[in-house]
């Protein structure tokens, strides 16, 4: 099948904007695959840290990204034989991810892997550069944002619900620092694609955002993958 015929919906935005939840819900509604690209950067950071690799050694971190022994099974994530489902969700893992994500060789190493997720009947890809770099020809692109305070509050609740202990003030500072690094890096910075639909979810609930995204998909005519209506 021609790759371009596979419908792709990209959802980019800063941390805590709700991308992951919205991507999962929309993919379920459409019956499409999901790519959580942030997990690949989190796994790379974690694997580098476990191997004692210095993040300043770009070639060594890129080698880790190229040979990442990662497996996704249902909602569980493994690095080799070790389950790291919870560990990759910690704020340390998020910060490490954003450091290794600024290394161009790491981004290059993960590119083909990410593109390989585009399979019938369709893909919902969530990240920072899905619409700008990884899937520039995606039929529908969303840029999901929310105020920094609201994003920190959501992240706080999400982590607490998972039993991860966090402090809200520290979380706001970490989110702001991570945003700054993601927006200002020289390669694939966090930015909306020119043709992205921007949604500010600060005062919206998840259902409202999911509905807006599904409407955008159906407007683009890619909601009925492989069919005529």
Per CB under 6 A, residues contacting ligand C5P are 15, 37-38, 41-42, 94, 97-98, 101, 127-130, 178, 182
Q: Which is nearer to ligand C5P, 25 or 42 (CB)?
A: 42
Q: At its nearest, how many Å lie between ligand C5P and the CB of residue 219? A: 25
Q: Quick one: 129 or 223, whose CB is closer to ligand C5P?
A: 129
Distance CA 208, CA 212 (A): 6
Q: Name residue 142's beta-bridge partners.
A: 11, 197
Task: State the Cα–Cα distance between residues 10 and 36, nearest whole angstrom.
Answer: 11
CA distance between the termini of the chain: 20
Minimum CB distance to ligand C5P smaller for 7 or for 38: 38
**Closer CB to ligand C5P, residue 93 or residue 197?**
93
CB of 8 to ligand C5P, least distance (A): 14
Residues 6+ apart with CB under 8 A from 8: 118, 122, 123, 125, 135, 137, 138, 139, 140
Which residue in 198, 197, 139 sits closest to 8, CA to CA? 139
Do residues 140 and 216 touch, judged by C-beta distance below 8 A? yes
Question: In angstroms, what is the minimal distance from the CB of 125 to ligand C5P?
Answer: 8
Min dist CB 41 to ligand C5P, Å, is 4
Among residues 180 and 219, whose Cβ is nearest to ligand C5P?
A: 180
DSSP 142: E
Q: In whole angstroms, how close is the CB of 102 to ligand C5P at the nearest point?
A: 7
Please identify, using beta-carbon distances, which residue of 154 and 178 lies nearer to ligand C5P. Answer: 178
Closest approach of ligand C5P to the CB of residue 63, in Å:
18
**Which uninterrupted H or E stretch holds 163?**
none
Q: Dihedral through CA 172, CA 77, CA 199, CA 193, nearest 10?
A: 100
């Amino acid at each position: 099948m021609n790759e371009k015929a596979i419908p792709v919906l990209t959802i980019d935005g800063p941390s805590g904007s709700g991308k992951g939840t919205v991507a999962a819900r929309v993919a379920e509604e459409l019956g499409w695959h999901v790519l959580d690209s942030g997990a690949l950067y989190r796994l790379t950071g974690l694997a580098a840290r476990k191997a004692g690799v210095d993040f300043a050694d770009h070639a060594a971190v890129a080698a880790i990204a190229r040979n990442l022994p990662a497996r996704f099974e249902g909602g569980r994530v493994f690095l080799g034989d070790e389950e790291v489902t919870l560990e990759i969700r910690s704020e340390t893992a998020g910060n490490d991810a954003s450091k290794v994500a600024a290394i161009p060789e790491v981004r290059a190493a993960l590119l083909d892997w990410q593109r390989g997720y585009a399979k019938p009947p369709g893909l919902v890809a969530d990240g920072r550069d899905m619409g700008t770099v990884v899937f520039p020809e995606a039929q529908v692109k969303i840029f999901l944002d929310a105020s920094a305070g609201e994003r920190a509050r959501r992240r706080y609740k999400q982590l607490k619900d998972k039993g991860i202990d966090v402090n809200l003030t520290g979380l706001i500072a970490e989110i702001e620092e991570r945003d700054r690094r993601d927006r200002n890096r020289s390669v694939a910075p966090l930015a909306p694609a020119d043709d992205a639909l921007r949604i500010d979810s600060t005062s919206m609930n998840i259902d409202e955002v999911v509905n807006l995204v599904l409407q955008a998909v159906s407007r683009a005519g890619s909601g009925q993958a492989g069919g005529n209506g």
